[in-house]
Structure 1
Amino acid sequence: MTVQDIDRVDRAGFAEEWRRWRDAHERVLADPHGFLAVTSLRWLDAEPTRFPDAPGAWSSTADGVRVELDEGEELTVDGAAVRGTYSFGILAERSSVYAGAGDAVIEVAKRGGHDIVRPRHPDNALLTAHVPAPAYEPDPRWVRTGRFVPYGTPRAVTVGAAVEGLQHVYDAPGQVEFELDGDTHRLTAFNGRDPGSLLVLFTDATSGVTTYAANRTVSVAAPDAEGGVRVDFNRAVNLPCAYTDLATCPLPPAENRLPVAVEAGEKIPHERLGGQ
C-alpha cells in the first residue's frame, strides 16, 4: 500500500472492518473447548498413565495412542460411546483428534514426533477469566502490498518450538516480499489454512517490549494471478503459547526476524502481563 493509497482509505470504515475481524477472532479464542480451555499437556510413553483431568490410562504404542477405560468410564469418539480399551491409531504430525468426556474434550495429537494428550475443560480458569489481548489501533500504514516469491519446489523448514527441545518441520512454498520505510523485506511463508493461502511467523523490534517475545503470526490470502499479496500487520495475532505454557507453538525461522518495530496487531496478552 502506497502513501497515496493510505490517504484514500476510509479510515473509519477501515477501523470498523478491523473491529469486526477482531471480534470474530476473539470468539474463536473464547470457544468453550478452544485452547484457553486446555488444563494440561501430557507427553505419552509406553506406560499406561492416568491423569486427573482425563478418564482412562493413556499410552503411546507402536500402533498409536491407546486409552484403557475402567468400568464406569466412557469417551465419545465420532459420536459413538467408547468403553474398555480403544486405539486412536497412528496420528500424522501436527494432526489432532478429539474425544468427548462429559463437558470436556480430550485432544489426542502428535507434536514434534511425540504423542500427546491435552484435556480441554470449559471451566478452566484461563478461559473463564480471559479478556481480549490489548492491540495497537488499526492503521492503514501497516497494510503492505507485495509479492509472493515461490521456490522452485517447496522447502522443508525446521523451526524451534515454545517447548524447549522440540522442533517442527513445515513445508515452505516461498517467501513474501514487501517494502517498509524504503527497505525491502522477505519473510518465509508456510502453507495457510485455506487452499493457496500463506501463514507468516515473525518477530520484530516490538517483540518482548510491547508484543509477545516468541512469535506472532499473520495470515496472507492466496496470491493473485501476478503473484501479488496483501500483508495486513493490523491482523497480526498471538499464538496459543502467548497465553499458556501448555502449547507447542512453532518459532519463526531466523530470516523472519524483522529489524523494524511493527506497531500493529496484538500486544502481550493480559495473562502474561499478570504473571500467569
Structure 2
Amino acid sequence: MDRKISGLPMAALLMVVGLAGCGQGSQAVSEQEAAVSAEDLSFLNDNQAWRIERHSRLVQPDGWTSLVGLHWLTLKAHYIGSGATSGMRLAVGPERMGLVQREGGKVWFTPESGVDLRVNEQPLRGRIQLHSDQEAEPTVVVFDQGKGSLSLLQRGPHQALRVRHADAATRQQFSGLDYWPADRRWVLPARFVAHNPARTLQVVDMVGMSNTLANPGRLVFERDGQSYALEAVANADGSLLVMMADGTSGHGSYAAGRYLDVAAPDAQGQTLLDFNRSYNPPCAFSIYATCPLPPAENRLDLRIEAGEKAYAHKPVAGQEV
C-alpha cells in the first residue's frame, strides 16, 4: 500500500513530479498539482534527513546507546574499576581505575598509578576535580584508547558516575528506529502563551528525583477542532522543549512519553509543532539514562500517530559491552 502525505499516495506524487521534470507536466497535471507534489516531496526529504541525523547521533561512540553504567555516589570515597576488588565495580575499563572522593561539596578523582587515562586529550597524572554535567565545562575521563569515558552527573543533591563505551552491546546491536509515516497534517501551528511572571515546572525523572525546570509558557494548538496545550521548558538558545504523553504512549509509542523540540516563537508568539519529529527520550534505549518524564499538564487526551514509535529492544544480557 502507498504511504500517504497530505492525503496523496506517495507513488502519485512521484509520478506527478517526474512528469513535470520531463516537460510533460503541463499536459498531464496542472501547475498547482505539480507545485503541491513538489512541496510534499520536499517535506518528505527534510523529514528523512532529520531521521538520518537522529539515528547518527544515537549511535555515535558517545551517543545514548553507548551507556554501560550509572553509579550513584553514596559514600565519601569509592575505589572504582572493573576488578572484583573495586568498591564500585564498573562494567568496563581498567581493573583499578582510581579513587573518587567527595569533599567540601566537590568531587575529586585520583587515578591509579600507571593507568592510561586522559582528560581533554592530555594524560591524567594526578588528582583532579570532576565537574558535573550541570557545569559549563564538564569533566570527561577517557580510557580504553578513547573507547570508554567516565563523567559526573548532578541530579538535585545527588551525584553519580556515568560510564560509556563504544563497544556497548546496546550500541553494537542497535536495531534502528521505527516511525509512523510522515504526514504534513501533523505539522500544526501553535501559539505561545507566556507565563507572566515566568514559572518553574517540577518534573520527576526515571530515577524518581524531582527536577525544577524553567517554564516560560505553554503552547496552544488545535487538532480536529479541539484545543490542546503543552507546557514548554526553556532552552538556553531560546528554543523550547516539550515532554509529552498521549494516547499512543504504551500503545505504539514509548510508554513513558516522548520529547519534541520547538523553534523559538516569533514576535507574534507563533511557532510550529511538527509531531513527525517527536522522539524517544534516552531512557527508551538504556537503563542507565535519567530522563525527565512528562508533567501531568502534558498528558494529552489525543492519539498522536506521528513521529518515533517505541524502540524494539534486542535482548542484551546484563547490558555488558
Decide: shared fold, TM above 0.5: yes
In the alignment, the residues of structure 2 paired with residue 133 and residue 183 of structure 1 have an alpha-carbon distance, to the nearest angstrom, of 30
1:217 matched to which residue of 2?
259
- Cα displacement (A) at 1:110: 0.9
2:160 matched to which residue of 1?
116
- Provide closer, same or farther for how the CA distance between residues 93 and 210 of structure 1 changes in structure 2, counting only shifts above 3 A: farther
Moved more, 84-93 or 260-269: 84-93
- What SS does the aligned partner of 1:115 have? strand
In the alignment, the residues of structure 2 paired with residue 70 and residue 273 of structure 1 have an alpha-carbon distance, to the nearest angstrom, of 35
1:84-135 deviation digits (Å, cap 9, x = unpaired): 3222257647984322223212122212331111111100000011122211
- What number of residue pairs does the alignment pair up? 269
Bigger CA radius of gyration: 2
1:140 matched to which residue of 2?
184
Matched, 1:128 2:172: yes
Query: Which ranges of 4 or more aligned residues in structure 1 deviate by more than 4 Å?
Result: 6-9, 93-96, 272-276
1:38 matched to which residue of 2?
67
* Equivalent residue letter for 2:254: Y
* Equivalent residue letter for 1:117: L
In the alignment, the residues of structure 2 paired with residue 172 and residue 272 of structure 1 have an alpha-carbon distance, to the nearest angstrom, of 37
1:23 to 37, 40, 52: 52
1:168 matched to which residue of 2?
211
1:135-168 deviation digits (Å, cap 9, x = unpaired): 11100111010111111132121111111x3121
Moved more, 51-60 or 147-156: 51-60
- What SS does the aligned partner of 1:48 have? strand
Gaps of 5+ in 2: 1-5, 8-35, 83-91
- Cα displacement (A) at 1:187: 0.6
2:10 matched to which residue of 1?
none
User: Matches of residues 1-276 of structure 1 in structure 2 within 5 Å?
Assistant: 8=36, 10-45=39-74, 46-52=76-82, 53-54=92-93, 55-89=97-131, 92=134, 96-101=138-143, 102-103=145-146, 104-163=148-207, 165-192=208-235, 195-271=237-313
- Cα displacement (A) at 1:273: 8.9
In the alignment, the residues of structure 2 paired with residue 105 and residue 99 of structure 1 have an alpha-carbon distance, to the nearest angstrom, of 5
Q: Does the Cα contact within 8 Å between 1:74 and 1:83 map onto a contact in 2?
A: no
Moved more, 223-232 or 46-55: 46-55
User: Could you tell me the percent identity over the aligned residues?
Assistant: 33
Moved more, 52-61 or 220-229: 52-61
- Cα displacement (A) at 1:188: 0.4
- Cα displacement (A) at 1:65: 1.7
Q: Does the Cα contact within 8 Å between 1:240 and 1:249 map onto a contact in 2?
A: yes
In the alignment, the residues of structure 1 paired with residue 137 and residue 290 of structure 2 have an alpha-carbon distance, to the nearest angstrom, of 13
- What SS does the aligned partner of 1:270 have? coil
Moved more, 54-63 or 103-112: 54-63
* Equivalent residue letter for 1:186: A
1:2-21 deviation digits (Å, cap 9, x = unpaired): xxxx5757322211210011
2:17 matched to which residue of 1?
none
1:241-264 deviation digits (Å, cap 9, x = unpaired): 011110110011101001010000
- Provide closer, same or farther for how the CA distance between residues 94 and 134 of structure 1 changes in structure 2, counting only shifts above 3 A: farther
- Cα displacement (A) at 1:67: 1.5
